[in-house]
Structure formats: C-alpha cells, structure tokens
Amino acid sequence: MSMAVHVGAVGVARPRIEGRAKVTGAARYAADEPIPDLAYGALVLATVARGRVRDIDVASVRDMPGVLGVIDHTNAPRLNPEAGNFFGPDGGLRLLQDDLIPHAGRPIALVVAETPEQARAAAQALPVTYDEQPHDTRLFAGHPAGRPALTLFDAPADIGDVDAELAASAVVVDERYGTPEENCSAMEPHSATAWWEGDRLEAVDSNQGPFQIAFTLATLFHLPPERVRVRVDHIGGGFGGKTMCGPQLILAAMAATRFGRPVRVTLTRAEVFLATAQRPATDQRIRIGADADGRLRAIHHDATYEISPLAEYIEGCTELTKTLYAAPAIRTALTVVPLDILPPYSMRAPGAAPGSFALESAMDELAERVGLDPLELRLRNEPGVGPVSGLPFSSRNLVACLREGARRFGWASRDHRPRMRRAGPLLIGTGLAATSFSTGAFPSTATITAEPDGTFTVAIAAADLGTGARTALTAIAADALAVGTDRIRLRISDSAIGPAWGAGGSRGTASWAWAITEAAAKIRGPERPMTATVDTTQLLGDLASRERHAFSAVFAEVGVDPATGEVRVRRLLGMFAVGRVINPLMARSQVIGGMIGGLSMALHEEGVRDPVTGRHVNADFAGYHIAAHADVPDIEADFVPDDEPGVPWGIKGVGEIGNVGTAAAIANAVWHATGVRQRHLPIRLDRVLES
C-alpha cells in the first residue's frame, strides 16, 4: 500500500462520480431496471375524503385485454399492523386491509395487467361506489380536536415567565403565520418492482433508506428481515417524500405475491401528490417582546399543524425558536389536529421551513417596530449557550454568516424604511433571515474489504438521492484509508449491506461517514484485517451533550409589480456554517437547491383543496407550481469556516439548511418593497396586488 502519494480528497471540489452516467442516460433509476416477465400495476385511489368502500365491481374489468387481476381489501394479503415509521405504528402503510377510507387519494385497489396501458385503462374503468361520511380537512389554531404533539423531539419548552416578560416589554409583536400543505415533488415518481426469488422477496424501489424500508416491508409481510431485500441504483430526488415504505412498494409486493411474477408499480404524478406524503399545513402564533433597544425579553411560539389519525408525526416548527436567540423567557408548544387527510411526513427542512418563516417574519416585524436594522436585531440577541437547554453549542457561527452575508449583499446601504426603492414600475425590497437546523448522526454499519487487487470495497446501505453521497463517501473512504479515490469501490443502496440510517434529517453523510471512518481505522489498525465491519451505535452514545446545529443567513432582493401583484426574486445570497465541507462543488449545489426550494415555497407552492369535497384539486405540475428556470435568479452561496467537534471530519448536514429561512427572507423583502406584511404562504399575486 503506497501512502506517500496520497493527496486528500475531502474538501476538494470534484464533479460527481456518476456524472457521466447521468448525462448520457446510462444511470438507472427504479423504473429503468430491465426485469424479465414483468407485469404492471395501476392504482385506484379513493375519490371521497372519508367513508367506506361500498363496492368495487372487479368483474366488469376482469376480462379487459391483458388484465391479470385486481387486488382490493377483499383479497389482499393481511399486513402486520405493528409496521410503522420513525414516529411509531403507521396506519398509512396498512393498504387494502379494510373498506375504510381515511382520506381522499387513499389507494383502494391495484389492477395488474400485462402492459402499463392495459393496467391503467382497467384501473380507470373500475367502477367503485362509496358510502360517504362527513369529513374535516380544514386546519386552524384552536381546532377542537387539537392536542399536544409527540415529544420525541422538539418537545415543548417553558423557561422564565413569558407572560410577565411580555407585559414588561416596550414592544410586542403578536401575529399569526400560515403555511399550506406542500408536496416534496421529486422529479422521479415513486416506482417499485417486486418479485420472489425462492423464499426471498426482492424489490427495486426508489427510496431514501433501503435498510429501513426493507425492514418495514418485512414487518408488514410477516417475514424475517433477511428474507427481504430492497435496492436501487439511482434515485430521482427524495426531499423526504421517499422516506417511508411507499404505496408503490407495498402494492408491488402484494401483487408479486399474488400473481407469482415480477410486478412494477410506478405512481402517476397525481398519485405522488395524493398518496405518498405531504408537508402539513401550519397555523402558528408568535409573540415576541423586546426592550426599546431590541433586546428580547420573551419569545412565545405556538405552532399548530395537521396530522392524520393514521399516524403520528412531528413538524418541529419551534426547534429554531429554542436555538436562535437569547431571551430570558421562551415558551414553545406543538399542537396537532387530526384531520381526514393524507398522513403528513417530513419534507425538506421539516419543521424548520414553516417554523423559520414564522419566527423570522416575526423578528422582522419586531425590527420594524423597534426601529432597528433587522441585521442588528439578530446580532444583539446572539446567545452564548442554548437559550433553553443551557448547553454549550458544539460550534456556532451564525454571526459570521450574518456579517459576511451582509457584506457581500451590500446590506449596509439599505434604507430600512419600506417602499423607498423603485425600478420603473417595480417596487424593490430586500430582506434577510437567520436560520438553524439541528445536526447529528444516527447508528449505521459499514464494511470495508481490502481486495487482492489493491482496491477497497466500501459497503454501506446509504442512498444517493442526488445529494452526492457516492462522491462524498468515496472521498471520505479514500482519506480514511489514505489511498486515492480510484482505489475505492463504493457499494450503497442495498438493504443486504446491513443497517444504516437513511438519507434524511441532514444526518446521512455524518452517520455514514462515521461508520466508514471507523471501519477504515480497523483496516489500518495493528491487526490489518482483510475485512472490517463497524456499527456506530455505541460510539454515538458516547458523544458529548451539546447544542448541535448548522446555521445560515439568507438575503433576498425582490421586485414587486404592485399593479399585477407579481413578485420576482432578483437576488438571493446565502452564507452557511455547516461544519466541514466535504465537497464544495456539490455542497454549494445542494444549499442553492435548498434555497430554490425555499423560493418556491415562498412564491408558488400550495396544495389546494376543494372546500366542499375536501379533495386536492391541483395534484399536478400545472396546478401545483414549483419554481421553473425563469423564477430563479443566479444565486450566491458560500461557506464560513466551521467545524463540528467530536464528529469525524467535522461534518454537519447540508441537506435541509438551504431550504430554511429563504421564505422568510423573501417575505421580509416583499414587506420592504411594499410596506405590506405577508403572513401567509405562498405570496400569491392576489395577496400582493394593489387596487
């Protein structure tokens, strides 16, 4: 092993390893895998928001060309009700188990046929009748069904005397902020192909964590975990929407079992909207009290959001409120309202995206009322330790992000009064937001094998959603083994490799890198084993208790046409403190992508429900707008020096932080341009239009 020539790969900007495959069409995604003797499944979704299936007239489609059969609640395999997700048992997984319809868009049947066209035609022709029941799909704070959320994380906080501090405050902001249902909308619709190989259930599935998905699938089908294998090569984006064991996989497994051949189920775009997961709508109240000089006395953040009775879920809207600013009194609470809706689940920057919109809008309102530069307001309330926990921060470079961002953006020349700048018919405004997103790692296993040809096979059940995990982990493995990246053979995206955290919670790279680094240390250790497997569970438990977060500051400039209400983002700049950056090229792409997600959230995204039927009516890309090329300006993003002590390579996640704060920065800029606050997203033109 020659180590003399080794040059570190971590920290170097390199194009993606799979770049060539992705620009030539060679990269295979779940629906691209050639599988012989394939049959195709097409879903049938409930068209009522609550009720029971009265009848599914299977006989009327059974003789249609190519149809192999229909699976519904009368003949589906019985699933294990104990199967769940991160938050506990999940009734959303229990498809086709009974005639109950808990929400519109619930899969109620799968039609399987020889070709996709035949399956779809029969699914469309399948007559279904319902017994409809009254439904409730409307979220609002104070809803009688509201109750406290689970406290697994973002538990309620109450330090100091919020009411007394508010009463003693010179200035108080007390406002409500609302965010709508949003959809992850990865460009790749969920697709799964399942088949049996002997007594083992095999599946190719687009998901964010093959080990956890396989484990859930095994539980659902009453199988020992080793008899279920889930893998995939490339994943066309996830953003949270592919975290759970999706309906495509459950139904494909059912169909493969029933028809004894490989079955592919690829969701339509409408089905992705209606039957996978969504970010819940939120209704948040924020009260902030401050002295006349802008020093905070109290923050009270009450966030209400919707869930489904089928499953628990935590939209941790108040995490930032316990992190960003020093105040003698802080109170937070999460209230859930069970409604007849698709179960919400994590979407990029869960909790932090809607939570930061509320908190950072409120901070901007406070700056306005105190008469202070919004930047100065943040700097003036910088905490020394965790404002609620009292724990030290592992590292905290928010001030560096704010100051450097302000310098690059030219913030110093800003006139803080609203409606002072014009460009032709446009009103111009700027705004900022400070952000944080919690960071950490979860247990994972990695195996490294020294091959006879001098290469190293590095196996970990990670998933590369487009984050660059392949490239980053290859660099980490190379440096950990002190060899060139050309000697690393990385194997990921296969549940058979062993337990590993999925790509989610901004914890993928840190979790996986930890396991790889430890395995590499063993390989290089005194015993020089040919192969080494490491499980990091114990190591993670030894990590010191700290406030661990990534931080950033986002600056936006908008142009608003008051005659039409059109808002366009002219400039967007983000400075990030995300620990050590493994690959600046990819990390920059990822935070810019997050900021574009935030822009899209600010201006476009909204699941619209029919007020009478409670059904979504914009379940496609013509109705549910995500930002297009023309909506997105050139974006500047960069990193301040940062580290994460105690975590190998000093990694913090970059997956979510880009998305946090951008909506607030844009909303604040719209206020600065127009003088009108936008407390509800998206900032649609009818909300801005001036008569």
Partner 1 sequence: MTTRSTISLRVNDVTHRLCLDHRRTLLDALREDLGHTGPKKGCDQGQCGACTVLLDGRRVVSCLTLAVAAEGAEITTVEGLAADGELRPIQEAFVRLDGFQCGYCTSGQLCSAVGMLAERAAGWPSAVTADVSPDGPVAELDAAEVRERMSGNLCRCGAYPSIVHAILETAARDGVTG
Partner 2 sequence: MKEFAYRRVTEIRDALAAGHGGARYLGGGTNLVDLMKCGVETPTQLVDVRFLPLGEIRETPDGGLAIGATTTNSDLAAHPEVRRRYPALSQAVLAGASGQLRNMATVGGNLMQRTRCAYFADPSQACNKRDPGSGCAAIRGAHHNHAVLGWSPSCVATHASDMAVALAAFDAVVRYETLDGGAEIPLERFYPPVGDTPERETELPAGALITEVVLPGSAVAPRSRYRKVRERASYAFATVSVAAHLEVSRGTVRSVRIALGGVASRPWRARAAESFLLDGPATADRFRAAAETELAAAAPLPGNGYKVPLARNLIAAVLADLAEPY
Report yes or no: 11 and 471 within 8 Å, Cβ to Cβ.
Answer: no
Residue 275 interacts with partner 1 (CB under 8 A): yes or no: no
Q: From partner 2, partner 1, none, which one binds at residue 466 (CB under 5 to 8 Å depending on kind)?
A: partner 1
| Nearest Cα to Cα of residue 594 among 634, 562, 561, 637 | 637
Q: From partner 2, partner 1, none, which one binds at residue 145 (CB under 5 to 8 Å depending on kind)?
A: none
Single-letter amino acid, residue 145: A
Nearest distance from C-beta of residue 481 to partner 1, angstroms: 26
Extended beta strands in 114-237, E state = 128-132, 147-148, 157-159, 171-179, 191-197, 200-205, 228-231
* Contact with partner 2 (CB under 8 A) among 604, 652, 672, 679: 604
Q: From partner 2, partner 1, none, which one binds at residue 541 (CB under 5 to 8 Å depending on kind)?
A: none
Q: From partner 1, partner 2, none, which one binds at residue 15 (CB under 5 to 8 Å depending on kind)?
A: partner 1
Residue 257 interacts with partner 2 (CB under 8 A): yes or no: no
Report yes or no: 68 and 286 within 8 Å, Cβ to Cβ.
Answer: no
Report yes or no: 224 and 240 within 8 Å, Cβ to Cβ.
Answer: no
Query: Which part of the chain contacts partner 2 (CB under 8 A), choosing from 326-334, 500-508, 576-584, 618-626?
Result: 618-626
| CB proximity list for 542: less than 8 A, separation 6 or greater | none
Q: From partner 2, partner 1, none, which one binds at residue 597 (CB under 5 to 8 Å depending on kind)?
A: partner 1
Nearest distance from C-beta of residue 561 to partner 2, angstroms: 9
Torsion of CA 643, 646, 650, 655, to 10 degrees: -100
Torsion of CA 281, 282, 283, 287, to 10 degrees: -160
Q: Which 368-427 positions form the footprint of partner 2 (CB under 8 A)?
A: 425
| Nearest Cα to Cα of residue 287 among 160, 177, 417, 378 | 177
Query: Which part of the chain contacts partner 1 (CB under 8 A), choosing from 281-289, 372-380, 615-623, 643-651?
Result: 615-623
Give the Cα separation of 418 and 402 in Å (integer).
Answer: 21
Nearest distance from C-beta of residue 120 to partner 1, angstroms: 9
172's tokens: 């108080």
Residue 287: CA count within 13 A, CB half-sphere = 17
Nearest distance from C-beta of residue 665 to partner 1, angstroms: 16
Q: From partner 1, partner 2, none, which one binds at residue 668 (CB under 5 to 8 Å depending on kind)?
A: none
- The enclosing H or E element of 586 equals helix 584-603
| CB proximity list for 93: less than 8 A, separation 6 or greater | 79, 83, 84, 85, 216, 220, 244, 245, 250
Number of residues forming the site for partner 2 (CB under 8 A) = 34
Residue 632 interacts with partner 1 (CB under 8 A): yes or no: yes
Burial class (CB in 10 A: 0-12, 13-18, 19+), 148: exposed
Site string for partner 2, 525-564 (x = CB under 8 A): --------------------------------------xx
Nearest distance from C-beta of residue 112 to partner 1, angstroms: 16
Report yes or no: 659 and 346 within 8 Å, Cβ to Cβ.
Answer: no
186's tokens: 């990865």
Q: Specify the residue, 445 or 467, whose C-beta has the smaller distance to partner 1.
A: 467
Give the Cα separation of 21 and 23 in Å (integer).
Answer: 6
Give the Cα separation of 316 and 333 in Å (integer).
Answer: 10
Residue 589 interacts with partner 1 (CB under 8 A): yes or no: yes
Q: From partner 2, partner 1, none, which one binds at residue 564 (CB under 5 to 8 Å depending on kind)?
A: partner 2
Nearest distance from C-beta of residue 58 to partner 2, angstroms: 18
Give the Cα separation of 535 and 508 in Å (integer).
Answer: 15
Active-site residue flag, 656? yes
* Contact with partner 2 (CB under 8 A) among 62, 489, 625, 680: 625
Q: What are phi and psi of 423, to 5 degrees?
A: -140, 100
Give the Cα separation of 592 and 651 in Å (integer).
Answer: 18
Q: Which 174-233 positions form the footprint of partner 1 (CB under 8 A)?
A: 185-189
Q: From partner 1, partner 2, none, which one binds at residue 568 (CB under 5 to 8 Å depending on kind)?
A: partner 2
Q: Which of 197, 566, 656, 690 is catalytic?
A: 656
Residue 3 interacts with partner 2 (CB under 8 A): yes or no: no
Q: Specify the residue, 38 or 496, whose C-beta has the smaller distance to partner 1.
A: 38
Q: From partner 1, partner 2, none, which one binds at residue 543 (CB under 5 to 8 Å depending on kind)?
A: none
Report yes or no: 511 and 470 within 8 Å, Cβ to Cβ.
Answer: no
Q: Specify the residue, 470 or 616, whose C-beta has the smaller distance to partner 2.
A: 616
Q: Which 29-88 positions form the footprint of partner 1 (CB under 8 A)?
A: 29, 31-32, 34
Binding site for partner 2 (CB under 8 A): 47, 65, 117, 120-121, 124, 425, 563-566, 568, 604, 608-613, 617-618, 622-623, 625, 627-631, 684-686, 689, 691
**Active-site residue numbers?**
656
Binding site for partner 1 (CB under 8 A): 15-16, 18-29, 31-32, 34, 115-117, 121, 185-189, 234-237, 239, 266, 268-269, 465-468, 585-586, 588-590, 592-597, 620-622, 626-630, 632-635
